[in-house]
Amino acid sequence: MVPVLRNPRCINCHSTGDFPRQGDDGHPHAMNVRRGPEGHGVTAEKCGTCHQDHNTPGLHMPPGAPEWALPPPNIPMIWQGRSDAQVCAQIKDPNQNNHKSMDEIVHHMTKDELVGWGWHPGDGRNAIPIPREQFAKYVEEWAAKGGACPQ
């Protein structure tokens, strides 16, 4: 599971700072975009202004998926710069994961369309390199075994 969580398609929204990142190099989002009070941006720079519910066709056009947003500031789910054990603990902690149960975590990671975007990121972007079905099997197996975290 960890290589997927550390992939730029995931880490760009689960990164340090109050802004999304872009590209495989994780550079700050253009136009000084900020998280905002609910994770949907601020003022005229709301995520939905450019990011629709689907990818815009063409090289380097805005990507999209339903509910495009960053995690909100009260539960930013920052993985960048944290150990695998810290990321695992955060994912499972109801106070840090928006009060999700293990079943809801599994559903989010395996069925959510925004998460699924990482496997279909649009023209000019590298997709997550393992099939989503394989990742889903890893997540389901991890949960079935109690969601153990590394030491």
pLDDT per residue over 21-52, tens digit each?
A: 999 999 999 888 999 999 999 988 899 999 99
pLDDT score at 135 = 98
pLDDT score at 76 = 86
At 140, the pLDDT band (50, 70, 90 cuts) reads very high
CA distances for 52 relative to 4, 65, 69, angstroms = 24, 6, 11
pLDDT score at 31 = 87
Tokens of 25: 């190099």
pLDDT per residue over 88-139, tens digit each?
A: 999 999 999 999 999 999 999 999 999 999 999 999 999 999 999 999 999 9
Place of tokens 């590298």: 126
* Three-class HEC string of the chain: CHHHHCCHHHHCCCCCCCCCEECCCCEECHHHCCCCCCCCEECCEEHHHHCCCCCCCCCCCCCCCCCCCCCCCCCCCCCCCCCHHHHHHHHHCCCCCCCCCHHHHHHHHHHCHHHHHHHCCCCCCCCCCCCHHHHHHHHHHHHHCCCCCCC
pLDDT score at 10 = 94
Q: How far apart are CA 148 and CA 141, in angstroms?
A: 10
User: Which pTM was predicted?
Assistant: 0.91
Tokens of 105: 């975590």
